[in-house]
């Protein structure tokens, strides 16, 4: 707590309902003096504000704002104005959001849900020389960037984590059906899975079926593709969908009579998606870089404060956005009294290990996290259907 001023510490303790350690927290002067003289800064947050990905956008906004709430609305000691812009659902709307925020003189950018949008804004961000700490979208094809960092994951890692697990779990003679949207993210997950599982393994021969990538699919959008997959008489189904698309896919899969095992990257059952699936989600197993029931100090602070404010458990989207604020906090502090975007970007490259709710991680050379991946199973936790932590799967990145 040596770098945490008294107000920050008190707010974290208050969020946990434990404010009795006042004398142990010291005062502002003991922690290096008041930060009131530091100049205000602007941070731009890009997230969908409507449509099928809005729930993820809300989580990203909530996670970043929670860090500000627990840190006196400051990053690196500077008072923060958080500006938001609607990512929309297309590359063009994403570019418009970035342009809007850059015109307002932001010190850094964060957010971005859609992988296609992240690829589409790459050149704009690099040319502007303003750091973007992406907190969700992370396509594996985003390479050779200088100003784009990501606190989430790379999607092929989700495929690799599941492949390592299923390679041992599936028996000889079993068949896996792989159903994914025809999208950048779907391609990444399949690529990572096949690399780790073994592309020539007969258990996944001819297994991949691609569906619509619509964020708001119709009531029968997946039916024909699901029937094609089930004609293989699979032992298990591996899929990759998020938010409302995930809810609709699982509903249609169950309606077609499939009751067998389902495996997926954890985005399938995150947040409101799990609530909307209800009993259809029971026993689905997922791989993800975060679980709300991880037992570490950083997660106890984060998850408790998040539940108190929002009356629900946090998701990986909120956690990655919280961490985006955390790395910005550290980088802006390192950048000096009057930081500019280029100085903040250089400082991001000097950060070491991050003490995160997901566990300790750090940026690797491609500017993405080297981190643990976990296996979770949807089951009752008391009276509530939850993603219950089962075990660690791998450290990737």
Question: How many other CB atoms sit within 10 Å of the CB of residue 338?
Answer: 10
pLDDT tier, 247 (very low <50, low <70, confident <90, very high otherwise): very high
Terminal CA-to-CA distance of the chain, rounded, Å? 29
CB 283 within 8 A of CB 378: yes
> Is residue 132 domain-resident?
yes
CATH number for the domain that contains residue 225: 3.40.50.2300
In 3-state terms, what secondary structure has residue 147? coil
382 confidence band (pLDDT: 50, 70, 90): confident
Q: CB–CB of 364/397 below 8 Å?
A: yes
Q: With bands split at pLDDT 50, 70 and 90, how would you rate the model's confidence at 393?
A: very high
Q: Which residues contact 394 (CB under 8 A, 6 or more apart)?
A: 160, 161, 164, 372, 373
pLDDT band at 36 (very low <50, low <70, confident <90, very high): low
User: Which pLDDT band, with edges at 50, 70 and 90, does 24 fall under?
Assistant: very low
Please say if the pLDDT value at position 5 is more than 80: no
Residue 6 in domain = no
In a domain, 21, yes or no: no
Mean pLDDT over 339-351 rounds to: 98
CB 60 within 8 A of CB 321: yes
Q: Beta partners for 378?
A: 387
| Residues 194 and 273 grouped into a single domain | yes
Q: Tell me, what's the pLDDT at 33?
A: 44
Rg (CA), the chain: 21
Question: Over 80: is that where the pLDDT of 31 sits?
Answer: no
Give 3-state DSSP helix, strand, coil % of the chain, rounded to 5: 45, 20, 35
Confidence band for 143, pLDDT divided at 50, 70 and 90: confident
**What are 262-281's pLDDT values in tens digits?**
999 999 999 899 999 999 99
Pairing of strands 369-381, 384-396: antiparallel
Same domain? 334 vs 208 = no
Whole-number Å distance between alpha carbons of 229 and 248: 16
23: pLDDT strictly greater than 50: no
Residue 9 lies in a domain: no
What total number of domains does the chain contain? 2
Which pLDDT value is given to residue 116? Answer: 93
pLDDT digits (tens, 9 = 90+) for 159-216: 999 999 999 999 999 999 999 999 999 999 999 999 999 999 999 999 999 999 998 9
CB 23 within 8 A of CB 13: no
Looking at 34-43, 167-176, 231-240, 376-385, which range is the least confident one? 34-43
In a shared domain, residues 118 and 175: no
The full length of the chain comes to 397
Work out whether the CA dihedral 273, 278, 281, 283 comes out positive or negative: positive
Q: Could you tell me if 277 and 387 lie in one domain?
A: yes
pLDDT at residue 3, rounded to an integer: 40
Are 87 and 97 in contact by the 8 Å Cβ rule? The answer is yes
309 and 283 in one domain?
no
- Shared-domain flag, residues 241 and 110: no
Answer whether residue 108 is part of any domain: yes
Question: Domain for residue 255, yes or no?
Answer: yes
Domain-embedded: residue 19: no
Q: What is the pLDDT of residues 108-138, one digit of tens each?
A: 999 999 999 999 999 999 999 999 999 999 8
On whether both 147 and 160 belong to a single domain, the answer is no
Could you tell me if 361 and 381 lie in one domain?
A: no
- The candidate with the shortest Cα–Cα distance to 192, out of 170, 219, 228, 167, is 167
Query: 208 and 80 in one domain?
Result: no
Please state whether beta strands 108-111 and 132-134 pair in parallel, antiparallel, or not at all (unpaired). parallel
The overall average pLDDT reported for the chain is 91
Angle of the 184-197 helix axis to the 155-169 helix axis, nearest 10: 40
Query: Are residues 94 and 123 in contact, defined by beta-carbon separation less than 8 angstroms?
Result: no
Domain boundaries, position 59: 41-153+293-366
Q: Are residues 95 and 176 in the same domain?
A: no
- Is residue 164 within 8 Å of 394, Cβ to Cβ? yes
Angle at 113 between CA 223 and CA 88, to 5 degrees: 85
* Cβ partners under 8 Å of residue 289, min gap 6: 152, 153, 266, 316, 358, 369, 371, 372, 373, 374
Residues 274 and 300 in one domain: no
Residue 271 lies in a domain: yes
Question: Is the same domain home to 281 and 349?
Answer: no
**Looking at the predicted structure, is the pLDDT value of residue 35 above 80?**
no
Which DSSP symbol is given to 36? Answer: T
| Residue 155 binned pLDDT confidence (cut-offs 50, 70, 90) | confident
Average pLDDT of the segment spanning 294-306: 97
Task: Please give the pLDDT value at position 37.
Answer: 78
Please answer whether residues 58 and 49 qualify as being in contact, where contact means their C-beta atoms are separated by less than 8 angstroms.
no
């Amino acid at each position: 707590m040596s770098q945490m001023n008294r107000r920050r510490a008190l707010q974290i303790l208050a969020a946990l309902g434990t404010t009795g350690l006042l004398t142990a927290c010291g005062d502002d002067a003991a922690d290096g003096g008041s930060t009131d003289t530091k100049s205000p800064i602007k941070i731009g947050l890009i997230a969908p504000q409507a449509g099928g990905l809005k729930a993820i956008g809300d989580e990203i906004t909530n996670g970043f704002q929670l860090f500000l709430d627990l840190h006196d609305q400051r990053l690196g000691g500077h008072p923060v104005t958080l500006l938001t812009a609607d990512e929309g659902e297309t590359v063009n709307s994403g570019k418009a959001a970035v342009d809007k925020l850059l015109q307002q003189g932001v010190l850094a950018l964060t957010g971005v849900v859609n992988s296609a949008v992240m690829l589409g804004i790459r050149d704009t961000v690099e040319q502007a020389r303003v750091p973007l700490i992406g907190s969700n979208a992370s396509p594996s094809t985003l390479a050779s960037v200088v100003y784009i960092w990501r606190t989430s994951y790379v999607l092929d890692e989700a495929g690799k984590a599941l492949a390592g697990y299923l390679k041992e779990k599936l028996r000889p003679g079993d068949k896996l059906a792989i159903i994914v949207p025809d999208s950048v993210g779907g391609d990444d997950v399949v690529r990572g899975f096949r690399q780790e599982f073994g592309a020539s393994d007969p258990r996944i021969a001819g297994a991949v079926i691609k569906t619509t990538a619509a964020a708001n699919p119709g009531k029968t959008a997946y039916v024909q593709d699901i029937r094609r997959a089930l004609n293989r008489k699979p032992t298990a189904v591996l899929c990759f969908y998020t938010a409302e698309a995930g809810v609709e896919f699982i509903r249609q899969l169950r309606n077609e009579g499939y009751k067998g095992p389902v495996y997926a990257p954890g985005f399938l059952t995150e947040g409101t998606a799990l609530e909307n699936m209800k009993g259809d989600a029971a026993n689905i197993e997922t791989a993800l870089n975060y679980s709300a029931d991880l037992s570490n100090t950083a997660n106890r602070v984060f998850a408790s404060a998040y539940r108190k404010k929002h009356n629900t458990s946090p998701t990986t989207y909120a956690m990655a956005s919280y961490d985006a604020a955390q790395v910005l906090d550290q980088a802006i502090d390192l950048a000096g009294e009057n930081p500019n975007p280029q100085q903040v970007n250089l400082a991001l490259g000097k950060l070491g290990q991050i003490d995160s709710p997901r566990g300790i991680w750090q940026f690797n050379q491609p500017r993405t996290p080297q981190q643990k991946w976990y296996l979770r199973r949807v089951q009752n936790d008391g009276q509530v259907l939850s993603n219950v932590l089962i075990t660690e799967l791998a450290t990737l990145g």
